[in-house]
Structure 1
Amino acid sequence: MKFSFLLWLFSFFIQSIYLHYILILNQTALPQFVNFICLTEGDPDMPYNDYRQDLMGEATLTPSGQFEIGTFQSFKLIYTAGKFGIDDQGGLRIGFRGHFDGSAIQFSDPTAPGYTTVEASNGAVLEVSWEARRNIRPWNKSLYIRCLRFLREGDQIVINFGDQSKGSPGWLLQTFCESAFTFQITVDPFATQDFIALPSAANPTISMVPGDPANWKAVLPTLRRPGQAFRLSIKGDDRWGNPSNRLTGKIKLKTNLPVTGLAETIDLKAGDFGVVIEGLSVESLGVLHLTVLDENDRLIATANPLVIRQAGAVHFWSDMHAQSG
């Protein structure tokens, strides 16, 4: 018994020395060791198995296109099983980025936001769950679908996000713009919990766009000399604080001091995210106050004051941390 214990202790000592050599002294062997421990294949930087991604199936999303942020919508995503189908206890995962701040997916209250239904074309029973931290970052928030009966090639799983058929207002979208909001699909066809991602181009995407302008802002510099050029910037943010490109009609500008180069009215053009007027100047000393009115003479923005003075020193803005871009 004592001999066996000493033999075990000696073996443990030798293994410890070997691991110390690999991890500390032989840095070139570290990536291979990590690969061995994690049982990965191929590129160790790949977060998902990349085995035959082209055979993992396909997905379609309707409707597609552009959608206003912070609104209720409904989408139908249809996943069609690929060459291997999906084994019983295998499944599907649809991931969304962790910063998504729309309504959570839920399956219990058909009248509440985010109500979602999932069904298989072959009648297979499906288990569904909405997980906030289970998937690999950045796809933290994910819809998990587990098949309790197998799917053949060509069988489909139909997901209705924001199903409005029983009174739900729909799925509340996020409150910030995103040109390619992605439904990231990974598949567990062999019921191994080793999810394989569809090719990136095969993931359905939509575009999240801003709403109508709700809060207007006018920005001037804070200090200029008489006759020194400056610019005026005007934009309209939607109710969530995103710059809106739905600017239409005319706006009127009022000042307490004459401003060279400034028109009394400006035509807004849909598609622009704002208006920048360059080459302005004020010849007289004083404090410039500027207001912005809509077509009905309603005040919509007040610019910050601009001091016009003949100063010996000139102020320059800077960012010592170089974080302004």
Structure 2
Amino acid sequence: MKTLSPYGPVRRDLVGDNHPSATPGEDPAIYGTATLQPVTPVEARSFHTLKLVYVVGSLGLDDTGAIRIAWRLVSDSGRPQTVDPAVPNFVSATSSGDGRLQLKYDVNGGQRPWNETLTVYQRGGYLRQGDEITVIFGDTTGGSPGMLAQTFAEGGREFRIMADVQATGNFVELPDTQLAVPIVAGPPQSWHGVLPSLRRPGETFHFGIKAEDKWGNPTAQAKARLTLHPSVPVEGLPEELHYEPEDRAMTLEGLRVMEPGLLRIGIAIDGRTVAEAGPLVVREGEVAGYWGDLHGQTGETVGTNTVESYLDFARNKAFLDVTSHQANDFQITPDFWAHLNQLTAEYDEPGRFTVFPGYEWSGNTAVGGDHNVFFRHEGRPIRRCSHALLEDRSGIETDAHTLSDLFHAFRQTDEDVVVYAHVGGRYANIHYDHDPLFETAVEIHSAWGTFEWILTDGFDLGRRVGIVCNSDGHKGRPGASYPGASVFGAYGGLTCFLTEENDRDWIFKAQRRRHHYGTTGCRMHMDVRVALPQLSTLYERNPDAEPYTATYRTGSAMMGDIVKTDASEVELAVEICAHAGIERVEIRNGVRVLETIRPYTEADLGDRIRVLWSGAEYRGRGRNTNWGGRAQFSGTTISRFETINRWNPDMLLEQRGSDTVVWKSVTTGNFMGFDAWLSRRGGHLMVNTNHGNLSLDLDAVGLQDVVREAGGLDRKIRVFRLPDQELKRELTFRRTVPLKPTGDNPIWICVTTEDGFQAWSSPVYLFRQAG
């Protein structure tokens, strides 16, 4: 497989957007020209200065006319300001002609995907052909340090230049002008090693190594002599290697562990461990675990970077086994759909890297909401929710305006397709419609946040779906999708598919049987099985999805299985091996938590106090909850402090003095917080936030959460005590689980690790029928 260059802007002929239907003329000379300097690479989150020069065309630029510079919606660059020349992001503009210039910045002043705009108006005079407007982004002459670059690497941050030369309000893009500045990673901040989580003895696997900058970009600035320390022998693994990859990451292929065991690989520089990869459980069995992020998009629609760099990142930077590209359908041009299908066929590599063609059906919540569509094969027709941003009207007759229309079309054509419901801007409306033949899973975590409700709301509706987690990333980093400093509030999720082989047929089988689990981005091993007291009926597909109702008699079931049984109770067996300590495991039957299991007891608790805040405003697009808070300890002091899920380094979460922690942060259904190791027992804690306060004596804080509900959607503050030392990373247990006499028993678990990651198993659906 060839290596794809991450550099270069997105091909404009593949971008789904539309232009004014009327223009002043056909001759490009009448609109003018523009240049941008310098276009040399800029380091992520650094200050820089750019000069844009617009030269007036043959029509001139009339009084009250303007030029407009636009950038993509997905950006966390510094926002241009024209008020204070001494502070960051100051923008100035001068003209060589008559009159004066007036600047107006609008974060949402343009049309998707070019939402962010700066408009430079001509006032008090007109400009002639050849006159120039010079715009300085990050003008430092008044003391400003410059423009603050975005947090994520991009092959070319584009400046789209438009002109309204006749002062009509109709802005026309300058022809043949594509100005872009590459954004590259900064110096290394952290090292990472990535392994799969489940393989069989003698089975090959790959081991990925990379260094990331402060913002999670794999960086080319890292060079080191690495020594590798495996916990069990690994065939093909060198003892040391010189890390100096050409393209920001390194993959060691064809490794094997010949005997059953648990593999973790320490990575050291000069005798100091800088990272650890694993765990990888090696044991005999029918299935292995293949990790995927199947949900993200790029600059051809609303995201950034190219689809080529997206596929390269998934395979060679995030070290995924499975991926797909999911662009908003109303923005997918026929040319891009053909291009995407060509690429998925080219880069699908059975046994090593599975790539599905697909798209995001992006209907409004009122008619079904966002759903991911995955085809097993290329060349399938795209049935869009609409042609909202497409000038090319071909295929409009096949639009599926509602989710019901989409499912009906799939039934009519016997489409070989899998569908997920997900929560993004337009959240999926699971109450609107559901077809169990196609819709196999719901996505409960992405960079948008955590949404258990999209699963649990379905229990009362009789839905039998699996759990997936993906990134829904817009920055071109599938499988390692950091939120940056914009609207996203969480690190992107991952899904582990439990199946025999890594190819399209086997992954499709795992999807349709819900044999998978999701995490908030970690790669833990999870095995959840149910032992039945007598032989019961297992359905290969959802029995509601007739006519596909093949059945088997079995005495056991794994996660995702649907089983009809006469048993009143079953034995649940759980095995977890995690990258970090296991903080808790919840056993659930539907929405009810049957038991919370911790690998420690009340007697193990120390002087570590954990404070967390979580939740969202509501289910829709504006779900972000902004938190401002302070935690103050009295009668004791903080001897050690660590943050949890602080994904945005610019966001305030820090210790102040010896007794106080302050924060200004965002949650989107997920949680964040901190651990404070205290100097002694006793004392008092006062938590003050904009969503409520909590006051408690620390002697009363123990194993169980102390909770302050804070309104919104599952919004709350929690405080509990932990052992001082690191927690156990492996946990195995069995429990007898009683079943309800009738209806579904969705038995599933939720794991929370010490460092703030979570994982959920797809439910085992056990149902009993009256009589």
* TM-score, normalised relative to structure 2: 0.35
1:206 to 175, 181, 194: 181
Does structure 2 conserve the Cα–Cα contact (< 8 Å) formed by 1:74 and 1:162? yes
Does structure 2 conserve the Cα–Cα contact (< 8 Å) formed by 1:48 and 1:196? no
The offset of 1:125, in angstroms, is: 0.8
State whether structure 2 residue 276 is matched by structure 1 residue 313. no
Structure 1 residues 178 and 321 mapped into 2: Cα distance closer, same or farther (>3 Å)? Answer: closer
Helix, strand or coil for the counterpart of 2:28? helix
One-letter amino acid of the structure 2 residue matched with residue 300 of structure 1? V
Aligned to 1:218: 193
The offset of 1:98, in angstroms, is: 1.3
One-letter amino acid of the structure 2 residue matched with residue 299 of structure 1? T
Structure 1 residues 319 and 230 mapped into 2: Cα distance closer, same or farther (>3 Å)? Answer: closer
State whether structure 2 residue 138 is matched by structure 1 residue 162. yes
Does structure 1 conserve the Cα–Cα contact (< 8 Å) formed by 2:199 and 2:289? no
Once the two structures are superposed, residues 155-205 of structure 1 have per-residue CA deviations (whole angstroms, 9 ceiling, x without a partner) of: 000111001111111100111122121111111111111112101x32321
Once the two structures are superposed, residues 271-301 of structure 1 have per-residue CA deviations (whole angstroms, 9 ceiling, x without a partner) of: 322111112122333222211112x222211
Aligned pairs for 1:89-168 (under 5 A) are: 89-148=64-123, 149-168=125-144
Once the two structures are superposed, residues 17-73 of structure 1 have per-residue CA deviations (whole angstroms, 9 ceiling, x without a partner) of: xxxxxxxxxxxxxxxxxxxxxxxxxxx953464433612111111111211121110
Aligned to 2:47: 72
Structure 1 residues 266 and 53 mapped into 2: Cα distance closer, same or farther (>3 Å)? Answer: farther
Aligned pairs for 1:169-180 (under 5 A) are: 169-180=145-156
Inter-partner Cα distance in structure 2 for 1:101 and 1:280: 39
Inter-partner Cα distance in structure 2 for 1:64 and 1:320: 32
Residue range with higher mean Cα deviation, 83-92 or 202-211:
202-211
Q: Which runs of 5+ in 2 are unaligned?
A: 1-16, 297-322, 325-771
Helix, strand or coil for the counterpart of 1:303? strand
Aligned to 1:300: 274
Q: Which runs of 5+ in 1 are unaligned?
A: 1-43
Query: Identity of aligned pairs, percent?
Result: 35
Structure 1 residues 283 and 76 mapped into 2: Cα distance closer, same or farther (>3 Å)? Answer: same
Structure 1 residues 275 and 130 mapped into 2: Cα distance closer, same or farther (>3 Å)? Answer: same
Which structure has the higher relative contact order (CA within 8 Å, separation 6+)? Answer: 1
One-letter amino acid of the structure 2 residue matched with residue 246 of structure 1? Q
The offset of 1:322, in angstroms, is: 8.7
Structure 1 residues 270 and 168 mapped into 2: Cα distance closer, same or farther (>3 Å)? Answer: farther
One-letter amino acid of the structure 1 residue matched with residue 290 of structure 2? W
Inter-partner Cα distance in structure 1 for 2:291 and 2:75: 33
* TM-score, normalised relative to structure 1: 0.80
State whether structure 2 residue 226 is matched by structure 1 residue 267. no
Structure 1 residues 207 and 312 mapped into 2: Cα distance closer, same or farther (>3 Å)? Answer: closer
Inter-partner Cα distance in structure 1 for 2:147 and 2:136: 10
- Number of residues paired by the alignment? 279
Does structure 2 conserve the Cα–Cα contact (< 8 Å) formed by 1:247 and 1:271? no
State whether structure 2 residue 229 is matched by structure 1 residue 251. no
Structure 1 residues 176 and 322 mapped into 2: Cα distance closer, same or farther (>3 Å)? Answer: closer
Structure 1 residues 322 and 272 mapped into 2: Cα distance closer, same or farther (>3 Å)? Answer: closer
One-letter amino acid of the structure 2 residue matched with residue 244 of structure 1? T
Does structure 2 conserve the Cα–Cα contact (< 8 Å) formed by 1:185 and 1:197? yes
Structure 1 residues 196 and 236 mapped into 2: Cα distance closer, same or farther (>3 Å)? Answer: same
One-letter amino acid of the structure 2 residue matched with residue 162 of structure 1? G
The offset of 1:105, in angstroms, is: 0.6
Inter-partner Cα distance in structure 2 for 1:184 and 1:275: 35
Does structure 1 conserve the Cα–Cα contact (< 8 Å) formed by 2:235 and 2:257? yes
Does structure 2 conserve the Cα–Cα contact (< 8 Å) formed by 1:59 and 1:203? no
The offset of 1:110, in angstroms, is: 1.1
Does structure 1 conserve the Cα–Cα contact (< 8 Å) formed by 2:198 and 2:289? no
Aligned pairs for 1:9-28 (under 5 A) are: none
Does structure 1 conserve the Cα–Cα contact (< 8 Å) formed by 2:68 and 2:118? yes
Inter-partner Cα distance in structure 2 for 1:250 and 1:303: 17
The offset of 1:270, in angstroms, is: 4.5
Aligned to 2:263: 288
Helix, strand or coil for the counterpart of 1:202? coil
Structure 1 residues 276 and 143 mapped into 2: Cα distance closer, same or farther (>3 Å)? Answer: same
Structure 1 residues 251 and 98 mapped into 2: Cα distance closer, same or farther (>3 Å)? Answer: same
One-letter amino acid of the structure 2 residue matched with residue 102 of structure 1? S
Inter-partner Cα distance in structure 2 for 1:100 and 1:144: 18
Aligned to 2:168: 192
Helix, strand or coil for the counterpart of 2:218? coil
The offset of 1:245, in angstroms, is: 2.8
The offset of 1:75, in angstroms, is: 0.7
One-letter amino acid of the structure 2 residue matched with residue 227 of structure 1? G
Inter-partner Cα distance in structure 1 for 2:112 and 2:27: 20
